[in-house]
Structure 1
Amino acid sequence: MKNILIILCFITGLNTAFANEGWLNILNEGGNNKGIKCTQAIQNAIEKASKNGGGTIFFPAGEYLTGALTLRSNITIHLDSGALLKFSENFDDFLPYVEMRYEGIVMKSFQPLFYAKDVENITITGRGVIDGQGKVWWNEVYRIETAKEPLPPTKYQTMWEEQNKGLYTEPYYKRTVDKKFFRPSFFQAYNCKNILIEGVTFQNSPFWTINPEFCDNVTVTGISIFNPHSPNTDGINPSSCTNVHISNCHISVGDDCITIKSGRDGDGRRYGKATENVTITNCTMLSGHGGVVIGSEMSGGIKKITISNCVFDGTDRGIRIKSARGRGGVVEDIRVDNIVMKNIKEEAIVLSLFYDKGTQVEPVTEKTPIFRNIHMSNITASNVNKAGQILGITEMPIQNITFSNINMDGKEGFTVNTATDVEFHDVKVNAIVGSSFKISDSKNIILDNVGSSTAIKGVPVIKLDNVSNALINNNFPFNPTDIFIEADGKDTKNIFLKNNVLNNVTTKIKKGASLDKKAITE
């Protein structure tokens, strides 16, 4: 028995030794938890663990201050409950400039607060808080943007210009490039794989918060992000990434909560790396320009995305898919399901190819953006400003869109313009201003069991203008309705009404002056 106990103690000692070898308490590695800057101690601990094949850098409770950190393969940053890791307010602590991506453009600029390049198996986890102290970065942008006269360049602007000679962007982006000051993301992994971010809280990001670029197998789960009203402080922005899983997150930020991207214009097309195989589920979004957004930097393409079981309360928009002429790229195979929205300041749903460019029609080229195969279902929205908007471009209408089992209460209804193969099934939009469904310059439309319980006198529930090939069926307005359909436009044709019960309607069809007499078949 004595020999067995000795053997067990020996094995236990070995296990403890091996465990301790891969577990580095930062307080034992030269760091301190009194708020005194310890960048070098933290980086040295990362390098030490890396030389041993990897390990965990452990931050016990307390306050830590650091500059930019470079992560290596097989490294875990673990913040215990009560640990606060703050990043420096001194821009010099984010030098030298590194290769990074800013708003879809690859360049050299400030090192992201957490930066990783060409590595694998990196983790940030725990129950602690990480503070980017972004206000100094926001203030510098504000100082540059609001100057009434040209300012002498700072050393950072001079460095940026020297290290980015030959960088080309489209003319419309000149205003941004001319700042020569590009804030770092909070976390940017560049060309990495196997990333896990779990449990921690991020706050006060200088720029985008979680921003993997050109990465594979990214998991972000159970984190909270809090950024105040501040410029470009998006929450989670995977760009040109594959196999991304975002779940159980709580986000309240100064810009979009979650945004899927893949590069901007020619630079994005040059890399040609799509973001694909993305799941977003079980998240709550409060303040933010958009709940879940796709684009506008989508020149590499975005496909095979699911968004489910999320709540948006107080965001400017809910689901937003945006691009513009010149971007190029294809957004396709998108599924949105089981979403609840409330207090949406603008549109609950937006699909728009008019994000930030003009209206002039262009030839179809690699610069032409494409939206297709997008399907949304089981959505409830209340107190929204506008139910939804689909806005295509003449040379490339938005294609193959379906909405099913949707209930919305708000000021305005759905607007569809320049789209093809759009279907509404079991969609109720209780608008108090204008038509619930306003469709123009579109074709191949199905309106199946749609309606409104807030019919407005003199305003049609459905308004068609230059619409061809439409089926309006299985509709039964329960409440007294003044006008059910209004149709106009010389190109309106092949409109079929079938299986509708319109006993509660005063005027079933109001025909405009330019409508062909044979355009509608009952």
Structure 2
Amino acid sequence: GVDIMSFSPLFYAYKVENIAIIGRGKINGHGKKWWEYVLSFPKDQPRNKWQLMFDSLNKNILLPDDAGQIKRGFLRPPFIQPMYSKNILIDGITITNSPFWTVNPEFCENITINAVTIDNPPSPNTDGINAESCRYVHVSNCHISVGDDCITIKSGKDLPGRTKNIPAENYTITNCTMLNGHGGVVIGSEMSGGVKKIVITNCVFDGTDRGIRIKTTRGRGGVVEDIRVDNIVMKNIKQQAIVLDMQYTRAPAEPVSERTPQFRNIRLSNITAYTKQAMYINGLDEMAVQEISLNDVVFEAETGITIRNAKDIELKNVRVNTKTGSALTIEKSQRVDIDGFNTAKPLTTAPVIKLTNVKDLLLH
């Protein structure tokens, strides 16, 4: 989320047009040495020559609120990173053992990533496809199993991201399978330049920690809006199937300003999920999550849906079967429309729907 000079990716392009990586071969990043180094890095060791060079090259950059990784004096290289480029095609290849983010276009336009397999073992920050502050991104027919998020969408972090102010916009993600990883498709938490007009369809998530996850925190600023998710199957989800969380770092409350993030106009439909928790929506006291709809969705879950600090919420034809607790819990929210909500397994120990401090509710 920060413009910075560091180690070069294996594949790097800067301000070019009409480039492609095509084929049926496998590219191995041999990332193990990098993973071991970052996991065992001693915080107080004397600076080596590479860290001193890093410090020298990055003297005057804008820093995010949390600059711990930058102050450490090194960042691992992404595997494939075009920057400020146009008309990019990545097709058919297999990538394994990336040191860091695997496919990481930044500030690019017109990107097609098709039929790519990414296979990283459990390993730190080895996101699969991470297109940051790009326009017209098309991801299709990919198979991804990684040590972090399978597909992420970002647009800068805190003041550096707001200053650059380049959104991630006009992305389509379709016909993909995603295994393992922290999340299937994740937006944020670095979204200070904004994320908008994103469509995610016809995907399977199996064994990821979460399915769809949109996350931010106080201090980021930026708006996530106009998101559509449709025709998704999730199985063996270890945490939540769907997460919209504006308190990712649990930062303390502050007055509404350009540092306050916003989530709005997010529609999810035709989803089946087998998961630990069905859905978690968590806005801020000072900025509610807004205009969220859930239509034709079935959750088989240990625990149900929790919604907090939200407004203009629509749940239509939603079924939640839980093992414990209420199927739907809503707190500190307003303008909620619930139509055809049901459970096939009502519990004697908890109400199906539990409401606390909810205003303007329509239940039918």
Question: Normalization by structure 2: what TM-score?
Answer: 0.99
Alignment partners' CA distance in 2, 1:212 and 1:180: 23
How many residue pairs get matched?
364
Alignment partners' CA distance in 2, 1:231 and 1:210: 15
Gaps spanning 5+ residues in structure 1: where? 1-103, 474-522
Name the structure 1 match of 2:175.
282
Alignment partners' CA distance in 2, 1:459 and 1:339: 29
Secondary structure of 1:169 counterpart: coil
Alignment partners' CA distance in 1, 2:216 and 2:277: 20
Contact 1:141–1:181 at 8 Å: present in 2 too? no
Q: Which has the higher helix share?
A: 1
Name the structure 2 match of 1:178.
71
Partner amino acid, structure 2, of 1:162? S
Alignment partners' CA distance in 2, 1:401 and 1:150: 46
* 1:401 Cα deviation after fit: 0.2
Name the structure 2 match of 1:109.
6
Compared CA separation, residues 152 and 361, structure 1 to 2 (3 A): closer
1:407 to 298, 305, 323: 298
Give runs of aligned pairs for residues 69-468 of structure 1, distance below 5 A.
104-144=1-41, 147=42, 150-171=44-65, 173-358=66-251, 360-382=252-274, 384-468=275-359
Alignment partners' CA distance in 1, 2:101 and 2:171: 19
Alignment partners' CA distance in 2, 1:165 and 1:175: 15
Contact 2:154–2:195 at 8 Å: present in 1 too? yes
Partner amino acid, structure 1, of 2:35? W
Alignment partners' CA distance in 2, 1:237 and 1:428: 32
Alignment partners' CA distance in 2, 1:253 and 1:116: 24
Alignment partners' CA distance in 2, 1:357 and 1:415: 17
Question: Normalization by structure 1: what TM-score?
Answer: 0.69
Partner amino acid, structure 1, of 2:48? T
* 1:448 Cα deviation after fit: 0.6
Per-residue CA deviation, residues 226-251 of structure 1 (Å, 9 max, x unaligned), is 00100000000110000000000000
Contact 2:101–2:129 at 8 Å: present in 1 too? yes
Alignment partners' CA distance in 2, 1:345 and 1:438: 20
Alignment partners' CA distance in 1, 2:334 and 2:269: 21
Contact 1:404–1:426 at 8 Å: present in 2 too? yes
Name the structure 2 match of 1:53.
none
Alignment partners' CA distance in 1, 2:238 and 2:288: 26
Alignment partners' CA distance in 2, 1:141 and 1:240: 26
Alignment partners' CA distance in 2, 1:136 and 1:118: 30
Per-residue CA deviation, residues 194-251 of structure 1 (Å, 9 max, x unaligned), is 0000000010001000000000000000000000100000000110000000000000
Secondary structure of 1:344 counterpart: strand
Partner amino acid, structure 1, of 2:97? N
Contact 2:64–2:157 at 8 Å: present in 1 too? no
Partner amino acid, structure 2, of 1:361? A
Secondary structure of 1:160 counterpart: helix
Partner amino acid, structure 2, of 1:330? V
Alignment partners' CA distance in 1, 2:155 and 2:14: 18
* 1:168 Cα deviation after fit: 3.2
Partner amino acid, structure 1, of 2:254? E
* 1:395 Cα deviation after fit: 1.1
Which is greater in Rg?
1
Secondary structure of 1:374 counterpart: strand
Gaps spanning 5+ residues in structure 2: where? none
Partner amino acid, structure 1, of 2:54? W
Q: Tell me the C-alpha RMSD between the 2 structures.
A: 0.9
Alignment partners' CA distance in 2, 1:142 and 1:381: 33
Per-residue CA deviation, residues 138-163 of structure 1 (Å, 9 max, x unaligned), is 1111221xx3x721222211110111
Contact 2:183–2:212 at 8 Å: present in 1 too? yes
**Identity rate, percent:** 55
Alignment partners' CA distance in 1, 2:106 and 2:68: 24
